[in-house]
């Protein structure tokens, strides 16, 4: 299955379940240093924006070395905890629909070009070895894995798509 279709399916299946969760539950912080479910959704928005620019830059820069970002700082600076739940959820949907469209537009050549010049040993959820041969397709897959990892923390009984990594 093409990754943009997987992303669209994640959005389609998760949104009704997210809308079932009360604002009280979404706002609950297990501790001062832990994110609420709403803040986790905010983190997924930040991740969508970061990965969008990574996917855009991949072809033109000739490698897969990308800036990281301070996830905790961004969640605080974006004040997700103080924002309306509907706004956070709708922003997550729109950001990922935008990203799915970009993924669909990426050529197979851009997605599948192998390189050992990457920093996936630092920025991916499923870390690769430094210098291991990989492609942008791996980063796209890892992004989807990341979304489902957090949706599993947010949505009771979330059913992951368990999409294995494959070249697309």
Q: Rounded to whole angstroms, what are the CA distances from 113 to 30, 117, 144?
A: 43, 11, 19
Q: What is the pLDDT of residues 4-52, one digit of tens each?
A: 999 999 999 999 999 999 999 999 999 999 999 999 999 999 999 999 9
Specify if 168 maps to a domain. Answer: no
Per-residue pLDDT band at 133 (split at 50, 70, 90): very high
Give the 3-state secondary structure of residue 118. Answer: strand
Range of the domain at 109: 3-27+35-154
Specify if 123 maps to a domain. Answer: yes
Nearest residue to 125 (alpha-carbon basis) of 47, 61, 55, 64: 47
Specify if 140 maps to a domain. Answer: yes
Specify if 92 maps to a domain. Answer: yes
Helices and strands in the chain: count of H runs, count of E runs: 8, 0
**Dihedrals φ, ψ of 63, to 5°?**
-155, 180
Task: Report how far residue 72's alpha carbon sits from residue 132's, in angstroms, rounded to the nearest whole number.
Answer: 28
Specify if 167 maps to a domain. Answer: no
Per-residue pLDDT band at 158 (split at 50, 70, 90): very high
Specify if 117 maps to a domain. Answer: yes
Query: What percent of the chain shows pLDDT beyond 70?
Result: 96
Specify if 163 maps to a domain. Answer: no
Q: What is the maximum span of the chain, computed from C-alpha positions, in angstroms? A: 46
Specify if 132 maps to a domain. Answer: yes
DSSP state, 31? S
Residue-level pLDDT at 160: 85
Which CATH number characterizes residue 78's domain?
A: 1.20.120.450
Residue-level pLDDT at 37: 98
Q: What is the pTM of this model?
A: 0.94
Total domains present in the chain: 1
Q: What is the pLDDT of residues 73-87, one digit of tens each?
A: 999 999 999 999 999
Q: Is the pLDDT of residue 162 over 70?
A: no
């Amino acid at each position: 299955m093409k990754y943009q279709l997987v992303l669209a399916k994640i959005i389609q299946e998760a949104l009704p379940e997210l809308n079932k969760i009360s604002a009280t539950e979404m706002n609950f912080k297990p501790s001062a240093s832990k994110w609420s479910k709403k803040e986790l959704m905010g983190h997924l928005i930040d991740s969508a924006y970061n990965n969008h620019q990574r996917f855009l830059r991949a072809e033109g820069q000739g490698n897969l070395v990308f800036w990281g970002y301070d996830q905790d700082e961004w969640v605080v600076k974006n004040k997700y905890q103080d924002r309306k739940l509907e706004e956070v959820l709708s922003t997550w949907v729109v950001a990922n629909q935008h990203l799915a469209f970009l993924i669909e537009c990426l050529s197979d050549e851009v997605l599948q070009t192998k390189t050992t010049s990457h920093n996936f040993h630092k920025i991916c959820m499923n870390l690769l070895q430094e210098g291991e041969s990989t492609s942008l397709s791996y980063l796209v897959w890892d992004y989807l894995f990341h979304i489902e990892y957090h949706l599993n923390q947010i949505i009771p009984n979330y059913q992951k798509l368990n999409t294995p990594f494959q070249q697309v």
